[in-house]
Structure 1
């Protein structure tokens, strides 16, 4: 429905009710006891991940009632290495909320709110109200006096800190810069470092109603646009893009970009006028590029052994970019590695050297394709937003440093030019997210969680995080509650109609927190006296008023709720701040210290960080195979689920082989190890080991193994310090170190491993089986 015709629609007459998820808008119904789902009829390229819902809805992995870890129940709060291998005791809601409220009060009163860490990673629900991150943060702000929070994300931890220094506005760069429409209409060559894999771009916080990425690339290709993919994985661009595959060594992208710019400069193909007018610090960087400052020109011959590409290929690639409407894309994946700031920075420099930044379909498309709302237009009216309130505690950590914080309280660390101190955390309250999916070095994370007094988790299923918790509170799935769905970069606002009653005794996060707030004497501050439906009406009102102010049809909440949703008006596709800056650099300067694109940053240079100097640089390769670990592992995002969500769903389970997650190897590498297609392999290094099934493909660079994240952590013997994960979770192998002292981002994309065929007795998969509680009776 167009923005000019957004009157309320009538719901389907066949029993399907509208709903949405992070992977797309859909409708669902129960028929003869079975859940049926179908994608939004206006979606040109629906995401099949919605097919995880039917099998997940009533799966045995669901949590039916509140559970308390036996050791915590019998011995009280305190450090305990039995977390992750203890029994659980069922408890009534009244009793568990009483105990939990008392524990929250104890920690708050004895240690202060700065001893509470509010863990949540934001992907728990597509709903605008039942958004676990908003719910838990509002509760802690109103009921415990605040909490220690995390900042940034595992996906973009390095870039979200770096970009404000060198370009100025991260959100504007990824959401109002180069759109998919611009690519389809204007781009002549797209050089994609790390690609634009559809498995990533088909996901968005809050959901998306139209998956346009595949169609935009195919239209660009049909118009004559060339796609060049720099990645060790051929599948990082869809087949419809017809890309030329440049299979580089993982982690070498910065070296390749330096050589490309070097080639442009020595051949006089760089846009010196653009660099002089729109950038700051080019002369300093150019001296480094040409080797005047360190004696090493960053030419194609230098980059060849680092990248695994012939020098002639690098030179030819650079010359293909000159004189074209060129778009340089850098995927999130590149900055999820040590020195991850460098390819992000260098990608901007390459686009600037070509003089393309700010042009329609040209310039720098950082993150384009990494998530569905990048490259989309903003909505022009307010979205429903649940207020989290104000956090009185100022302390925080970069999100990927949670193990460091728990293992090293009082230790100092560097972050964004500051020297900070890790707080001493007694209680972690986690609602929304599974750190045993997205964190690195899971055996180290297990040690970190063992240090706590108390770990509380809201979960709908027995994830590894829930299995390590002291108090496990079962929460509802989105299909079991009502909400409003949408995101600020998708026009469709969706009434999320409940389809089925809650599983067992599961409760909404809001109801759980309201019960705790009542026991802590803060119910009014948390609930403001509103029921769930009253909150939905309250959150919807600013959107309705925004429509009315624009003279557009503004359905009442009742009309909206009775409809299948309607489209909101969107802002123009105007290129954002970078387009305005190109058109008028003096009148529309960038929000950087110089007002320009900062190729050399005086601010970053003043921090004095050896691992992130004042301009982009090649700082060495951290993922060099050796005799003990001869393969580079790429631990990228999965295709059949969002992170680890619904790993037990039908679509995810059907993609496994012999119950294991599937890794990919080149046939030549497999032959050298006596490995055949479909075998079970063991991947290992000094941090841990896991099993996976293997598929052989020539779409992967030799010397590289790819294993997606998201298989639920499943240790064969939880009592071991480094147990074998039998299910295929690569984060038992990845390093838990920051990208640099600037950003301290996640480095989980790459590591080195040994690979061998597994010939022993194959352990069973226990990841989806509820933990044992033999003979347990409901405790009071």
Structure 2
């Protein structure tokens, strides 16, 4: 951007999940620039200029023709039908009537409130809070979802074995400690910067690259265990151990076996701070099942030479070692096991609770992990109380819709899937997050009504019966805040709403009036009045500490407010190490549970009472000889703004890019830049291919987030021509314990695509008459 533009254009502050920035409109063109205090800003903000007025935006309310003509009910035409534009008052009257029908005939147990929380960094126009507040006001509750696609297995098992999940990820080992104290970082699944570039509520300082560089310059060694070399930044000079995907638990077992048999483990730590070690040790040494979990056993499972495993284990002894386990590892079959086993490895080294050592679960997975917490509360919109109380694990939505009344196991309980008649989705795109998209299409065909708020024509919007156009973050005012970033941002409106788009709040306020609950939902406040109200909480927190507490108008004019942060004190793990009797962990034993009586008592074969190697059901074989790693993208957050120029610029020939080892490509007659077809029994998609030696042979990588684009929507198993890997992934829970998402790994075959290339239509609006 030239100095002339900067001098003549008035920029206003704003925030996104991928960074704080400022923006301006100049002659109709949107200009964005990163926050000047960010040491490593994220280019994803460059998706905004082209996305703001893109034709993929939804300009007016739409109703699916089949639903309008035939009324509510199951319909396989969802995702294939045309739409009818309607005025706002008419569509809100129509939807209000349908909501009353469901409420009066079926009650809150027939409504699923779908949302995934990443819609906006603003804390008021937070779609998840808005929809849940509305459903609690209008229905007295709804069927909710718990956990997340990112950490579904970890967030269930960690409370059993280590204590508070939020404390483990947010109040434990910090990047400051890594930079100053770590002597070795053993990163299972890595700490890819594309992941830590993103943080809920916004982020003003991307510190991860700098912290790792500082540690490296001080002499810290980084060891990356991953089939992808890029899962740690180049600057750290990491040693790369390219294991077979999904085998990290076996490798950890073999490392601990070497430590134990060579007397290199910290038995004193295990005795004082853990429970269940003797039971686990019998399994480790083969006394329980006849199979020693040594390096020789692990080598063929992991693809890592036995001597390399033993050498690595010996290097861990006597150093300040930080063991990290990426979210990615638990997004697979038996995803609970690497989370648990990572903790056991760290415990065997005896370093949990030391600065820069121990266990940094998911460090680097999200931008607010590994940072100091803010010392004053932030603005938070109350969602009200869900008096219905029923829920499902978030990744089990297709199971719920396809199998109402069926029982399933979750966290030691036998639960029953409800009979859902109406799905209301605001914020999030299940056609990005969910697995086996052809099965998801069948699931959405089963409900009476699907309502979606969306700013653009995602596949979720195309499958809806009623589509309500929502504003983009740049088109509304809000307050950007993250619990672990010191900068609170006055998010100014930069542009007018696209077409007839409305804020989620205004849509729900209109519906609340039609359902007779306007006061309960709005409390009589406008959006700007809500910002005043929510800001007051932070203002009072500053006053309570005797700190300057500007009033709202002062904050708004200044654009940002720097908040005080708490100490870097190691959290409960440091306190536990210093005095385990006075500061026990919130587990049944008060200690780290290497063997869990609770989990053992659940009797789940898919998650026994201690960490174990459980071979996956899906392995490469005849017809599907390759592993597919479906990881997070680098040029967008999930599928957001996939039509933005920064995201489009990363594609080749309009398609998402898959990475493949040259040897695998040569065996199939594939050259760099070719379009390939990836396929298995569940589906198929096209992608352009990039050949690289920085991927393990036998592995293909294809990032998630390319908008689902079926070549023939009439087909029940159409080819996705754009490169969405979730047409290939398996829709099954991690285990009966957590029922988490397993979308990180699957098996496929790949071939060079030789036909006429189908056009990309993902960003074209559907037919409307």
When normalised by structure 1's length, the TM-score is 0.98
Residue aligning to 1:658: 653
Q: CA deviation at 1:623?
A: 3.7
Equivalent residues in 2 for 1:197-208 (5 A)? 197-208=192-203
Select 2:756's aligned residue among 761, 770, 780.
Answer: 761
Residue aligning to 1:620: 615
Q: CA deviation at 1:627?
A: 1.7
Residue aligning to 2:143: 148
Select 2:628's aligned residue among 625, 633, 642.
Answer: 633
Does residue 327 of structure 2 align to residue 332 of structure 1? Answer: yes
Select 1:40's aligned residue among 29, 35, 42.
Answer: 35
Residue aligning to 2:452: 457
Give SS of 1:157's match.
coil
2:295 and 2:306 in contact (8 A); partners too: yes
Once residues 566 and 449 of structure 1 are traced to their aligned partners in structure 2, the CA distance between those partners, rounded to angstroms, is 44
Does residue 277 of structure 2 align to residue 282 of structure 1? Answer: yes
Select 1:422's aligned residue among 417, 422, 426.
Answer: 417
Select 1:606's aligned residue among 581, 593, 601.
Answer: 601
Give SS of 1:187's match.
coil
Residue aligning to 2:179: 184
Once residues 619 and 20 of structure 2 are traced to their aligned partners in structure 1, the CA distance between those partners, rounded to angstroms, is 43
Select 1:342's aligned residue among 308, 332, 337.
Answer: 337
Q: CA deviation at 1:13?
A: 8.1
Does residue 478 of structure 2 align to residue 483 of structure 1? Answer: yes
Residue aligning to 2:683: 688
Q: Deviations over 1:567-620 (max 9, x none)?
A: 100110100001000000000000000000000000000000000000000011
Select 1:222's aligned residue among 210, 217, 221.
Answer: 217
Give SS of 1:429's match.
strand
Residue aligning to 1:734: 729
Equivalent residues in 2 for 1:564-603 (5 A)? 564-603=559-598
Residue aligning to 1:541: 536
Q: CA deviation at 1:12?
A: 9.5
Equivalent residues in 2 for 1:505-520 (5 A)? 505-520=500-515
Q: Which runs of 5+ in 1 are unaligned?
A: 1-10
Select 1:667's aligned residue among 662, 665, 674.
Answer: 662
Once residues 754 and 319 of structure 1 are traced to their aligned partners in structure 2, the CA distance between those partners, rounded to angstroms, is 38
2:274 and 2:591 in contact (8 A); partners too: yes
2:140 and 2:385 in contact (8 A); partners too: no
Once residues 353 and 26 of structure 2 are traced to their aligned partners in structure 1, the CA distance between those partners, rounded to angstroms, is 52
Q: Deviations over 1:447-492 (max 9, x none)?
A: 0000010000000000000000000000000100000001000000
Once residues 69 and 124 of structure 1 are traced to their aligned partners in structure 2, the CA distance between those partners, rounded to angstroms, is 24
Give SS of 1:462's match.
coil
Give SS of 2:558's match.
coil
Once residues 425 and 215 of structure 2 are traced to their aligned partners in structure 1, the CA distance between those partners, rounded to angstroms, is 44
2:111 and 2:420 in contact (8 A); partners too: yes
Once residues 59 and 254 of structure 1 are traced to their aligned partners in structure 2, the CA distance between those partners, rounded to angstroms, is 45
Once residues 380 and 240 of structure 1 are traced to their aligned partners in structure 2, the CA distance between those partners, rounded to angstroms, is 33
Count of residues in correspondence between the two structures:
764
Once residues 69 and 202 of structure 1 are traced to their aligned partners in structure 2, the CA distance between those partners, rounded to angstroms, is 37
Equivalent residues in 2 for 1:382-461 (5 A)? 382-461=377-456
Equivalent residues in 2 for 1:360-399 (5 A)? 360-399=355-394
Once residues 559 and 210 of structure 2 are traced to their aligned partners in structure 1, the CA distance between those partners, rounded to angstroms, is 25
Residue aligning to 2:116: 121
Q: CA deviation at 1:14?
A: 4.0
Q: Deviations over 1:33-80 (max 9, x none)?
A: 100000000000000000000000000000000000000000000000
Once residues 622 and 379 of structure 1 are traced to their aligned partners in structure 2, the CA distance between those partners, rounded to angstroms, is 44
Residue aligning to 2:3: none
1:251 and 1:623 in contact (8 A); partners too: no
Residue aligning to 1:299: 294
Once residues 14 and 324 of structure 1 are traced to their aligned partners in structure 2, the CA distance between those partners, rounded to angstroms, is 54
Residue aligning to 2:261: 266
Residue aligning to 1:101: 96
Once residues 202 and 13 of structure 1 are traced to their aligned partners in structure 2, the CA distance between those partners, rounded to angstroms, is 30
Residue aligning to 1:308: 303
1:691 and 1:725 in contact (8 A); partners too: yes
Does residue 138 of structure 2 align to residue 130 of structure 1? Answer: no
Residue aligning to 1:78: 73
Residue aligning to 1:752: 747
Q: Deviations over 1:102-135 (max 9, x none)?
A: 0000001101111000000000010010000000
Does residue 526 of structure 2 align to residue 531 of structure 1? Answer: yes
Once residues 721 and 501 of structure 1 are traced to their aligned partners in structure 2, the CA distance between those partners, rounded to angstroms, is 40
Residue aligning to 1:7: none
Does residue 316 of structure 2 align to residue 321 of structure 1? Answer: yes
Residue aligning to 2:713: 718
1:252 and 1:621 in contact (8 A); partners too: no
Once residues 261 and 71 of structure 1 are traced to their aligned partners in structure 2, the CA distance between those partners, rounded to angstroms, is 60
Q: CA deviation at 1:564?
A: 2.2
Give SS of 1:562's match.
helix
Q: CA deviation at 1:566?
A: 1.6
Q: Deviations over 1:141-168 (max 9, x none)?
A: 0012210000000000000000000001
Once residues 143 and 624 of structure 1 are traced to their aligned partners in structure 2, the CA distance between those partners, rounded to angstroms, is 47
Does residue 262 of structure 2 align to residue 251 of structure 1? Answer: no
2:266 and 2:349 in contact (8 A); partners too: yes
2:223 and 2:238 in contact (8 A); partners too: yes
Once residues 235 and 575 of structure 2 are traced to their aligned partners in structure 1, the CA distance between those partners, rounded to angstroms, is 33
Q: Deviations over 1:367-421 (max 9, x none)?
A: 0000001111110001000000000111100000000000000000000000000
Once residues 551 and 201 of structure 2 are traced to their aligned partners in structure 1, the CA distance between those partners, rounded to angstroms, is 22
Provide closer, same or farther for how the CA distance between residues 395 and 247 of structure 1 changes in structure 2, counting only shifts above 3 A: same
Once residues 47 and 300 of structure 1 are traced to their aligned partners in structure 2, the CA distance between those partners, rounded to angstroms, is 41
2:731 and 2:742 in contact (8 A); partners too: yes
Residue aligning to 1:8: none
Once residues 318 and 763 of structure 1 are traced to their aligned partners in structure 2, the CA distance between those partners, rounded to angstroms, is 51
